[in-house]
Amino acid sequence: MIRVFVADAHPIVHKGLKAVFRNSNEISIVGKGLHYRDLVDHLGSKKVDIVVIEIELPGFEDIRTLRRLKDQYTNVRFLVFTTLSEEVYAISALKYGASGFLCKDNPLNKLKDAILKISTGGVYITNELAEHMAFNETGANPRALINQLSEREIQVLRLLVNGKRNKEIAVSLSISDKTVSTYRSRLMKKLKVKNLVEMLNKLQHIDLDMY
């Protein structure tokens, strides 16, 4: 039996998933949390296989929190089940440790499919996201583009990809906010992307620490 904890601020989500899996021989909803601290408390005291989590959960700081959870609870897998845009947030969620991403406007049978796939060690994404990722992979070779960057540009790029804001990058590299903005614009141009989402997508399979 796959033990699932549901971390979502909306009680109707808990009730709905409990009802869907009430008679399941494969999946059991073993707990619920309305706040991030509820999730942490449960993970610290009881066994859970998969956490179905809304990343707008109160107390959940940002997408990077997934990495901290995954590092601390290595045997637990995380499935993001959210109202937020798949195109904007899915790649970052996977980058920071999620094993799957599903928007709430999908049929609940997809949620079951996602849980079953993740439970066997797989990664779950929708066909639409897979097509989107494949389409972006057909563009210019990102490694070749990175090789054209200066050492400072790569430093800024690493921080951007890790979710740092302009002010945080400025402090980290001891440069001005304006200089960071200049580097950011230059990177967008050199990497042939229009925004940060496209940048994350293009660099999703690249370890920037190797540069």
Report the 10 Å Cβ neighbour count for 176.
Answer: 11
Which regions of the chain are under pLDDT 50? 138
Write the CB contacts of 8 (distance below 8 Å, at least 6 apart in sequence).
14, 32, 33, 34, 52, 53, 54, 57, 81
- 138-149 burial: b if 16+ Cβ within 10 Å, else e: eeeebeebbeeb
So what's the pLDDT on residue 159?
A: 92
Q: Assess contact for 140 and 191: CB atoms under 8 A.
A: no
List the strands of the sheet with 2-7, edge to edge.
27-33, 2-7, 50-53, 77-82, 100-103
pLDDT for the residue numbered 21? 94
Q: How confident is the model over 110-152, as pLDDT tens digits?
A: 999 999 999 999 999 888 777 666 655 545 577 778 878 888 9
Output the average pLDDT for the chain.
Answer: 89
Of 163, 193, 159, the closest CA to residue 174 belongs to 159
Sorted by where each starts, the structural domains of the chain and their CATH numbers stand as 2-134 (3.40.50.2300), 142-210 (1.10.10.10)
Q: Which amino acid is at 179?
A: T
3-state DSSP: the chain helix, strand, coil percent, rounded to 5? 50, 15, 35
